Amino acid sequence: MSKIKLVVFDMAGTTVKDNDDVHNALISAMKQFGYPVSRGEANDVMGYPKPDAIRSLLENVEPDHDIISTGYINKIHKVFVEEMIHFYKTSPEFGGTPNAEETFSKLKEKGIMIGLDTGFSKDITDVIVERLGWLKEGKIDFVVASDEVKAGRPHPYMIQELMRKAGVESSDQVAKVGDTVADLQEGTNAKTKFVIGIASGAYTRAELEVSPHTQIIGNLLEVVEIVSSK
């Protein structure tokens, strides 16, 4: 039996297909309020709670910082949420990433629990989880969204909430897997035994390597060997 009891995976870009869909919805929401944002600028804030991402983008493009109130951020976030929910409910491109379900299955065969966390709010997360069917079919065990804890990434609270749900007391029995710098920061701050970046989503291997991590992988199935070997 592996010493690892819980693996926490990110969602969009890690276990849920993302062909810049999140980037595009964020760019679109900002544009509707008169702010041109590039793909690169959107990429810089991937993985973080989306209200925090919007605030960061506004601080770069809005010269009058007095405008950047919580209420204003929430208006932009509402548009983003509506676009994402529509996409995840209707897109024929929606689904899990390559090897996601196989990875879950192999981990569960070893008695390892599966948690998902995300920079999305719960309303978007619920749509994704419901359409995938992973929770009700028992392919994963727990899900936590960024607005269900006191602060999302890079803070460790989502991982800690998943540990509480799973009854895992030591972060040395946890692995974190994600495709963004924010994921690696989250795992590092939670002091998980493994902090695994996957270079198949928002960030390249080189971009991930500059952040604290234990491994950078190119295929989710590599997680099984990593968490089973030590």
- Supply the residues annotated as catalytic: 10, 50
CA dist., res. 6 & res. 174, Å (int):
5
What's the burial of 33, exposed, middle or buried (CB within 10 Å: 0-12/13-18/19+)?
A: middle
CA dist., res. 103 & res. 48, Å (int):
24
CA dist., res. 177 & res. 186, Å (int):
10
Residue 8 structure tokens: 């926490």
CA dist., res. 114 & res. 141, Å (int):
5
Q: What is the 3-state secondary structure (H, E, C) of 43-74?
A: HHCCCCCHHHHHHHHHHHHCCCHHHCCHHHHH
CA dist., res. 84 & res. 61, Å (int):
23
